[in-house]
Structure 1
Amino acid sequence: MLTRDFPRVREREILRIAGELGGADAASAANLARHEVLKWAATQFGAPLPTNASEADAFEIFRGGRTCIATGLVDDQRTLWALRVDRPDANVAERTWTTEVTLGYAPGNGRALFSLRLLVGTPEEELLIEPAVPAVLRQVATACGLLQGGVPLASAPWTVTSEQDAEDLVEQLLRPNRTITYLVCTVPDGEVSPLINAPVLAKVMLGLARVVIVPSAHTWVLTRQLGKSLSVYNGAARAYLPGFSLDANPVAHRLFLVNWKPGEDRARAAATALRWMAANESTRRLQLGSDVLAFADVRQASLDHERERLRQSGSADKDQLVAALAQIAALKDDLRRAADTQQWLSDEHAHAEERAQTLEQQLHGAHDRIQHLTNQIKARGDVPDTGLPLPTTWAEFANWCDQVLSGRVALEASARREVRSAQFEAPQEAARCLLWLGDEYRDSRINGGDGDLRKPIAEGIHNDRCGADSFDYTGSNGRVTVEWHIKNGGNTRDPRRCLRIYYYWDETSQMVMVVSMPAHRRTGAT
């Protein structure tokens, strides 16, 4: 008899949301929110829920492949209530959606808390969906009000209408304690709205991201404040994740170019990618057990509480046994779900490692190609960087380095921070020094040199050892010792006239890594 191996159904988490319920009376707010959640749950079944559901009692319903389970806990310290709904996908066989909602408050300790998780169980290797918050979230937000960080959630995008609005947006993006993703959609020149449907995006990302529309007349503020490499303009969209700063890696806060080219639905693809970025950030940032309470945790706490109550009240052994068996059954269900999640995480880790290795191979290939083309140019007697435009301001310096010196010279995060506030009066002079590092110095290292190039590289500018100013640095390549720098002559420490470029050679990437510039670095010796 032939047997067929069917794909295993695995459960994976799509998104998490945490917030506070509106209203100063936590108990009333939680009761109102529970009423709205139960109304939504009834629509998932197409039939009324048990009459005791409105009283916050525990219940279970199984009907037509759908389940609805509620549990709760009330003691002297807290009141908790949680509900989980499982329902099959309307279009894809064997795909099941799970929505978990938890409400809770501590008497006399602020507002009631709300959290939500969306999970999916499916045998699909590639999940082709567009993440969106469940309708129950919008229902609760409308009826009860939901806040994050004291700010009410809005299901409509924020449209920047003035230079001050744009300044406020930059200030919000750079807040170190920001906890929500910003999806910034710009309007192309000559148009009145973004190419991405921002109102729909704001609706489906409620609680996950704040959607912002920036007309073309105000995008220059972002470019001036953030620099070209971290800005967004000309109809593009960008996801600014929590933790964004002026020295952030532009790749981490991804930019999406959108156009009107016939036959390409790049706006739809960009919107889908933005949804995934916000959803993935929520599962990465919000911690289970602290920011978000899982249904399983509430159920186990409730069952523990009930068993302890029965024990202390001297209930019959039969009643205690029933409670114990109920807890065992719940633990088995939680264990199965946890195993599915663990398998999914393991598979995702393997896929991520494979993608990282592929990208690393592609990067090495690109570097080899750049070196090959550079050698061809030199073989013809030409100088590769002749005629290149040099940055005239420090605001554009990091972006210039990324574009012109890619694969040859890179600014570490510390150097990126410093060049944005640099006072050295000649950014073009500093740029020429980096070109020397990316050309003559790098060639000497690739061809077997030890990097001991103590020599003048321009009038009044030398490459030399740091000497007593050498220092250890921990950056993108781990801990290294920085022993070389480029410096100009004179004994001045005036940051307007003093030039210092501290760097090291990374053998793995075959690149020069600049860790500090353009000012003299304070060390133990100085």
Structure 2
Amino acid sequence: MTSNDVVGLVNLMYRPNRRLPIVVVSDNDQGAAQLDTRKLAVRLSGAAHLIALDAGASWELTRLLGKRMSTFSGAVRIYMPGLVEDEEDAYQHPLWLAPNSGRNNRLIDILAERVFPLGFRDSDGESHFWHLAQLRQTASAAQARRQAGSDVDQLRLEVELLKERLEDVNETLETAEALEKIAADNEKAARYEVELLKNENNRLREKLYHLQYSDSESKCEIPKAVDRHLASYDDIEDWSNDLLGPNIFIHRKALKDCRQNGHPDMLERIENTLLVIRDYWIPYKIHGGIERRNDMITALGRLGVEDEACFARRERAKERDDYSVPDGNVTRILYDHFKYGNSRNNSEQFRIYYSWDEDGKRLIIGKMPSHLPNDMS
């Protein structure tokens, strides 16, 4: 698949009635897949949509979905059915970073194991394929009907059938309990590993943040990025991960809005605003203090940016579906926003709608730069 075909792939991903998973195999930097796609196609046998992406298609997929939900650089991903736009959870769509061997037969086995149970279910998750026990029962019943003579013989055969059925039920129950235990153990181990990785990632990012910007609180000038400027709205995810530190999280809905609706005239001002938030707003929010508060207000004011509630009656935001974003198992309400300009035209204004996570000490940016509907619109 080339970049011209990616829109069709994205439409397939978000199709509401899609029953089959989508397995996406991307090329590495040398233009080669890290597994045998023909062998994988034979193994899957129509139980999934199989898509091979070249480098250009991977870049286009990243532009449309964002880095968290994309597949690139030789990685392989399964996009599960039920994908809903703006509510994607990257952890629900498993990603494998294949070694640069070009073979990876074990990965083909893993993909087949993950895909086959999904391919044999309808959109409601119900299986329409008989188990072996069901086939055996049907065959036994047919034989009993053919061989039965007297009423006594008929009853004896029915008793035998009931015994077989009881054995099958017990066998099914034991299998289900074993699978449930395996699944629970795997889920527990996976969640534990994810938490370890998250904690380590946050620790390293926080350490890097303090090493790079430890002296920023003493300054009251509009800061500039140390390494590089924000190149474009397509770059905002990587740029924010590199420069904004662990206390600012830009939600996928905000990233998508930036890519689709961000205006070039506002790019530099949005960059400077995010840096002011990093260097002034975050320290004030975490540590407090009159001096930090005054520095924060001054720095935002120099950009013409205000920090205020979205509604005069604060709880009004909770009543509006578009003023919330999912964050793991939590729904974050966007009570407040940073605002510049009063126009509805994105070439003259931007809004950064956010929620403050007090436990995690994170600013969660749920929407930007477009203006959300309010009581006056």
TM-score clears 0.5: yes
Partner of residue 254, structure 2: 415
Compared with structure 1, are the counterparts of its residues 315 and 405 closer, same or farther at alpha carbon in structure 2 (3 Å cutoff)?
farther
Deviation track 1:12-47 (CA, whole Å, cap 9, x = no partner) reads xxxxxxxxxxxxxxxxxxxxxxxxxxxxxxxxxxxx
Structure 2 residue runs without a partner (length 5+): 319-323
Partner of residue 278, structure 1: 115
Compared with structure 1, are the counterparts of its residues 438 and 352 closer, same or farther at alpha carbon in structure 2 (3 Å cutoff)?
farther
Partner of residue 335, structure 1: 170
Superposition pairs for residues 274-313 of structure 1, below 5 Å? 274-279=111-116, 281-282=118-119, 289-296=126-133
Partner of residue 191, structure 2: 356
Q: Which amino acid aligns with 2:297?
A: K
Superposition deviation, residue 181 in structure 1: 2.3
Partner of residue 397, structure 1: 236
Q: Which amino acid aligns with 2:308?
A: D
Q: Match for 2:358 among 499, 502, 507? A: 507
Measure, in 1, the Cα distance between the counterparts of 2:128 and 2:288: 53
What is the total number of aligned residue pairs between the two structures?
358
Partner of residue 312, structure 2: 468
**Mapped pair 1:372 → 2:207:** yes
Compared with structure 1, are the counterparts of its residues 499 and 462 closer, same or farther at alpha carbon in structure 2 (3 Å cutoff)?
same
Measure, in 1, the Cα distance between the counterparts of 2:122 and 2:373: 36
Partner of residue 118, structure 1: none
CA-based RMSD of the aligned residues comes to: 4.1
Superposition pairs for residues 131-146 of structure 1, below 5 Å? none
**Secondary structure, aligned partner of 2:42:** helix
Task: Give the TM-score normalised by the residue count of structure 2.
Answer: 0.75
Deviation track 1:80-102 (CA, whole Å, cap 9, x = no partner) reads xxxxxxxxxxxxxxxxxxxxxxx
Partner of residue 433, structure 1: 273
**Mapped pair 1:176 → 2:16:** yes
Partner of residue 51, structure 1: none
Q: Which amino acid aligns with 2:334?
A: V
Compared with structure 1, are the counterparts of its residues 272 and 417 closer, same or farther at alpha carbon in structure 2 (3 Å cutoff)?
same
**Secondary structure, aligned partner of 2:77:** strand
Q: Match for 2:179 among 338, 344, 349? A: 344
Compared with structure 1, are the counterparts of its residues 178 and 218 closer, same or farther at alpha carbon in structure 2 (3 Å cutoff)?
same
Partner of residue 149, structure 1: none
Superposition deviation, residue 180 in structure 1: 1.9
Contact 2:141–2:161 (Cα < 8 Å) also in 1:
no
Superposition pairs for residues 78-93 of structure 1, below 5 Å? none
Structure 1 residue runs without a partner (length 5+): 1-159
Superposition deviation, residue 305 in structure 1: 10
Superposition deviation, residue 203 in structure 1: 0.6
Q: Which amino acid aligns with 1:238?
A: R
Partner of residue 497, structure 1: 348
Q: Which amino acid aligns with 1:209?
A: A
Please state which structure has a larger fraction of its residues in strand. 1
**Mapped pair 1:519 → 2:370:** yes
**Mapped pair 1:211 → 2:50:** yes
Q: Which amino acid aligns with 1:429?
A: R
**Secondary structure, aligned partner of 2:81:** coil
Partner of residue 73, structure 1: none
Superposition deviation, residue 499 in structure 1: 1.3
Measure, in 2, the Cα distance between the counterparts of 1:411 and 1:217: 25
Compared with structure 1, are the counterparts of its residues 196 and 265 closer, same or farther at alpha carbon in structure 2 (3 Å cutoff)?
closer
Name which of structure 1's ranges 399-408 and 357-366 shifts more when overlaid on structure 2: 399-408
Compared with structure 1, are the counterparts of its residues 481 and 318 closer, same or farther at alpha carbon in structure 2 (3 Å cutoff)?
same
Partner of residue 339, structure 2: 487
Partner of residue 110, structure 1: none
Name which of structure 1's ranges 217-226 and 297-306 shifts more when overlaid on structure 2: 297-306
**Secondary structure, aligned partner of 1:502:** strand
Measure, in 2, the Cα distance between the counterparts of 1:169 and 1:418: 20
Q: Match for 1:324 among 138, 159, 162? A: 159
Contact 1:219–1:232 (Cα < 8 Å) also in 2:
yes
Measure, in 1, the Cα distance between the counterparts of 2:113 and 2:11: 25
Please state which structure has a larger fraction of its residues in helix. 2
Measure, in 1, the Cα distance between the counterparts of 2:151 and 2:74: 70
Deviation track 1:298-351 (CA, whole Å, cap 9, x = no partner) reads 6668889999x99xx997254134213312321222222222322331242134
Measure, in 2, the Cα distance between the counterparts of 1:285 and 1:428: 49
Task: Give the TM-score normalised by the residue count of structure 1.
Answer: 0.56
Compared with structure 1, are the counterparts of its residues 218 and 520 closer, same or farther at alpha carbon in structure 2 (3 Å cutoff)?
closer
Compared with structure 1, are the counterparts of its residues 176 and 259 closer, same or farther at alpha carbon in structure 2 (3 Å cutoff)?
same
Superposition deviation, residue 198 in structure 1: 0.9
Measure, in 2, the Cα distance between the counterparts of 1:440 and 1:179: 48
Superposition deviation, residue 506 in structure 1: 1.3
Deviation track 1:470-517 (CA, whole Å, cap 9, x = no partner) reads 41236225244433210013x322233221111111133321112222
Partner of residue 41, structure 2: 202
Contact 1:502–1:516 (Cα < 8 Å) also in 2:
yes
